[in-house]
Amino acid sequence: MKKSLMIVMIVLLSIGIFGCSNGSDKTNASGGSVKLTVASSTADQGMKTALTDVVKAFEKENPDIKVDLQFPGSNYENILKMKMASNDLPDLFDTHGWAIKRYGNYLADLSGEKWAANLSDTIKPVITDDKGKLYALPLNEAKEGVLYNVDVLKKYNIEIPKTFDELVAASEKIVKESKGEVTPFYFAALDSWTIGQYFDYFANPLLISPKQNEAEALQNGSFDWTKWTFLPENFKKFYDKKLINQDMLTAKYVDEAKLFAENKLAFALHAPASIADVKKINPDAKMGVFPIPSIKAGDEPTFVGGERFTLGLWKDTKHAKEAKKLLDFIAKEDNIKKISDTTLAPAPFKGITAGGEFAPFYDQYKQNRVLPYFDRLYLPNGMWDVMCTLGQDLIAGNITPKEYSSKMKAEVERLSKK
């Protein structure tokens, strides 16, 4: 009963938020204004403001086009699923990492747009298929590694770790010399995505980035899941050695910013969006990012990345001309730079230096490879929640590292059949 009620609520919410995109928004038949519905998955206030400012500037230049810009927040994915089921999507919508796999059949090809030729070499293959179809305009580009507190590493004379072992050694040094006052890593079970980040980030150096890798085995279903056990084994070791906050099972992500601001935290594994919250508490806080350390001998550190925020064009929109005009406007250098700087992310176009205060770090590590998020390429839909839940069970003592791996195998096989 509760589940049915929730579905009904989501349907009603989707109608209320996204309205109708089937052409009924034409004010009149004699040249009245057109209303475009545009949906973004972002929950970041800075990104909301930046995109809203760009849209307002577009409306000022194009008074005959009105833009209904929507930010549904945590309901975004569920609403989009309902809209796909009824084939009544927003004119433009954020594909939030799934342009090809999840939304591909609903998107128009944008490869002929003038801005498409200038996409960066790292983002273009992520949103383009092998036939050349381009699925979305990227508003910025994800390039994530280990977020770190510059002052903490400086205080304890820690050099940027390049290998997993060096990262462990650096973490142990921080705990020992701070007498437990500084925590190397922070994870929050009440926001379990933070736990999933560890497994998703380090799966690449363990299984994908080395020359001898498991990419083919993962994709053809022959992967030996005992090789995954390295990740839960070390996650448990991190916790047992107090390299992870000991209140992890009851912790909330919102508290991480305070720890960074007070120089009581060294590392985190997620995009730098939280830096704004850190700065509110301590304007002088200095944060940086370095590539995810390698695990296998002979390998080099890598970033994880791909889509962050995008806008794809619904293939059945009645206002393709106006929607493409908006995309062209957003793709202007000043607008892309504004969005990328606000989100502390690299620009998705060649020749644009962006990323705000993180721009120097992106430039410093520009030679390091950027690999796709592991779960998006090598795991079936639904496995993200599995990784997060199993991580909690591991720390709670409900499962062993080996059981984590066996459960991963079973869930991958189950979900792959759907």
**Residues 6 or more apart whose Cβ sits within 8 Å of residue 109:** 133, 134, 135
How far is it, in rounded angstroms, from Cα 57 to Cα 332?
12
Do 337 and 352 contact (CB within 8 A), yes or no?
A: yes
Helix (H) or strand (E) holding 381: none
Nearest residue to 205 via CA among 248, 175, 150, 166: 166
State the distance between the two ends of the chain, measured CA to CA, in whole angstroms: 24
Question: Which domains occur in the chain, in start order?
Answer: 2-142+306-372 (3.40.190.10), 144-304+373-416 (3.40.190.10)
In terms of DSSP H, where are the helices of 184-319?
Answer: 193-203, 215-220, 230-240, 256-261, 275-281
How confident is the model at residue 19, as a pLDDT?
55
Tell me: pLDDT of 16 over 70: no
Q: Mean pLDDT throughout 340-363?
A: 94
Q: How confident is the model at residue 74 (pLDDT cuts 50, 70, 90)?
A: confident
List C-alpha distances in Å: 223 to 199, 213, 413: 16, 11, 11
Neighbours of 202 (CB within 10 A): 22
How far is it, in rounded angstroms, from Cα 285 to Cα 71?
29
Q: What does the pLDDT look like over 291-335, one tens digit per residue?
A: 999 999 999 999 999 899 999 999 999 999 999 999 999 999 999
**Residues 6 or more apart whose Cβ sits within 8 Å of residue 163:** 293, 294, 295
Q: What does the pLDDT look like over 218-261, one tens digit per residue?
A: 999 999 999 999 999 999 999 999 999 999 999 999 999 999 99
**Residues 6 or more apart whose Cβ sits within 8 Å of residue 267:** 146, 147, 148, 149, 167, 171, 184, 185, 186
Q: What is the CA radius of gyration of the chain?
A: 22
From its phi and psi, is residue 274 left (phi > 0), alpha (psi between -120 and 50) or beta?
A: alpha
Average pLDDT, the chain: 92
The tokens for 400 are: 């062993």
Tell me: pLDDT of 10 over 60: no
Distance of CA 392 to the CA centre of its chain: 21
Q: Is 16 exposed, middle or buried (0-12, 13-18, 19+ CB in 10 A)?
A: exposed
Q: What is the 3-state secondary structure (H, E, C) of 369-380?
A: CEEECHHHHHCC
Q: What does the pLDDT look like over 373-384, one tens digit per residue?
A: 999 999 998 999
